[in-house]
């Protein structure tokens, strides 16, 4: 019981068996037997799983995960919560901020993105301020990697930075994005994540900025992609969880789960 608690309190952290053995004043063989029971518990609870690594540098770690059935149900419910006319704002925008900043909504979203991209062996999750930050953080935590936030314009408290200009595909306005030289070492494998994509101009900008850091972009994830308007998508490969298919200022809005995801 206490072993489960220690593992779950530090998701993705490899805990050596010797640490558990000392902590509970038990032989390593006893700890190993306990871990079998912990593993069975996770098969029953479906709240993730544990990985054990043998050898001197080995140990055990907890990988948080969301059951496939729960993913489908959660995304359907989220799509329904977004498909209400009270969320329609002037200018044809959809109000999503309350959900994007709610830990109870974010935690499952992080687990879903982690489920999709874990096999890519990521080193970091990258996003651009502001609304995608919480989403990137929960995903980074579920994957056990740091988050990197690209800023708008240049910030004095970040030291030397790399700036690039980009055109948000839908607004056609030139903007600047900036990342501190210190933020990312060369050669890292990164996932780009954002809350909303229209044409993908911002995502293209982030991909270009990552090239300046010699990073490998191994995935692009979006919470919602818009199917409205006639914006050819600038990004070829991305994975959205939800799609905005209708938004009419007279009061109709439809968001649907992107079912292709459920594996």
| Binding segment (CB under 8 A) for a second copy, from list 72-80, 140-148, 215-223, 233-241 | 140-148
CB of 163 to a second copy, least distance (A): 16
- Residue 234: which residues within 8 A CB-CB, separation 6 or more? 169, 199, 200, 201, 203, 204
Q: Which is nearer to a second copy, 157 or 263 (CB)?
A: 157
> Mask 213-242, x = binds a second copy (CB under 8 A)?
------------------------------
CB of 48 to a second copy, least distance (A): 7
- For residue 24, state whether it binds a second copy (rule: CB under 8 A): yes
Burial-class residue 166 by CB neighbours within 10 Å (0-12, 13-18, 19+): buried
Task: Kindly tell me which residue out of 18, 29, 30, 45 binds a second copy, with binding defined by CB under 8 A.
Answer: 45
Q: Which is nearer to a second copy, 41 or 259 (CB)?
A: 41
Task: Kindly tell me which residue out of 47, 120, 168, 170 binds a second copy, with binding defined by CB under 8 A.
Answer: 47
Cα gap 195→223, rounded to integer Å = 5
Six-digit token string for 209: 């900025």
Cα gap 248→33, rounded to integer Å = 59
Cα gap 221→78, rounded to integer Å = 17
Q: Using the structure block, give the residue that is written with the tokens 């970091």.
A: 124
Contact assessment for residue 17 and residue 59, using Cβ atoms and an 8 Å cutoff: yes
- For residue 90, state whether it binds a second copy (rule: CB under 8 A): yes
- For residue 147, state whether it binds a second copy (rule: CB under 8 A): yes
Q: Which is nearer to a second copy, 68 or 259 (CB)?
A: 68
Q: Which is nearer to a second copy, 161 or 260 (CB)?
A: 161
Task: Kindly tell me which residue out of 22, 77, 102, 185 binds a second copy, with binding defined by CB under 8 A.
Answer: 102
> Mask 189-218, x = binds a second copy (CB under 8 A)?
------------------------------
Instruction: Show the beta-strand stretches assigned E in the chain.
Output: 49-53, 59-63, 88-89, 93-94, 124-128, 147-152, 161-167, 174-180, 189-197, 216-226, 239-248, 252-257
CB of 203 to a second copy, least distance (A): 17
- Residue 30: which residues within 8 A CB-CB, separation 6 or more? 21
Task: Kindly tell me which residue out of 28, 85, 121, 182 binds a second copy, with binding defined by CB under 8 A.
Answer: 182
Give the Cβ contact number of residue 246 at 10 Å: 12
- Residue 66: which residues within 8 A CB-CB, separation 6 or more? 74, 108, 111, 112, 115
Residues that bind a second copy (CB under 8 A): 1-6, 8-9, 13, 24, 37-38, 40-42, 44-45, 47-48, 64, 89-91, 93-95, 97-98, 101-104, 106-107, 129-130, 133-134, 137-138, 140-141, 144-149, 151, 156-159, 180, 182-183
């Amino acid at each position: 019981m206490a072993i489960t608690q220690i593992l779950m309190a530090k998701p993705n952290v490899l805990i050596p068996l010797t640490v558990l053995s000392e902590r509970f004043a038990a032989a390593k063989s006893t700890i190993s037997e306990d871990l079998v029971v912990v593993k069975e518990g996770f098969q029953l609870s479906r709240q993730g799983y544990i990985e054990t690594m043998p050898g001197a540098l080995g140990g055990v770690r907890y990988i948080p995960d969301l059951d496939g059935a729960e993913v489908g149900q959660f995304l359907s419910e989220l799509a329904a919560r977004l498909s209400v006319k009270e969320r329609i704002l002037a200018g044809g925008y959809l109000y999503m901020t309350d959900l994007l900043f709610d830990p109870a909504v974010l935690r499952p979203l992080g687990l879903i993105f982690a489920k999709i991209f874990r096999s890519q062996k990521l080193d970091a999750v990258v996003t651009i301020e502001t609304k995608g930050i919480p989403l990137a953080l929960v995903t980074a935590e579920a994957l056990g990697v740091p988050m990197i936030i690209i800023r708008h314009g240049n910030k004095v408290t970040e030291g030397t930075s790399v700036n690039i200009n980009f055109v948000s595909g839908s607004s056609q306005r030139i903007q600047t994005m900036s990342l501190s030289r210190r933020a990312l070492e060369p050669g890292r494998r990164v996932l780009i994540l954002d809350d909303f994509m229209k044409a993908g101009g911002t995502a293209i900008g982030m991909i270009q900025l990552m090239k300046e850091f010699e990073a490998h972009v191994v995935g692009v994830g979006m919470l919602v992609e818009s199917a409205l308007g006639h914006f050819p998508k600038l990004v070829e490969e991305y994975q959205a969880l939800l799609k905005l298919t209708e938004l009419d200022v007279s009061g109709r809005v439809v968001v649907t789960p992107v079912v292709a995801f459920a594996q």
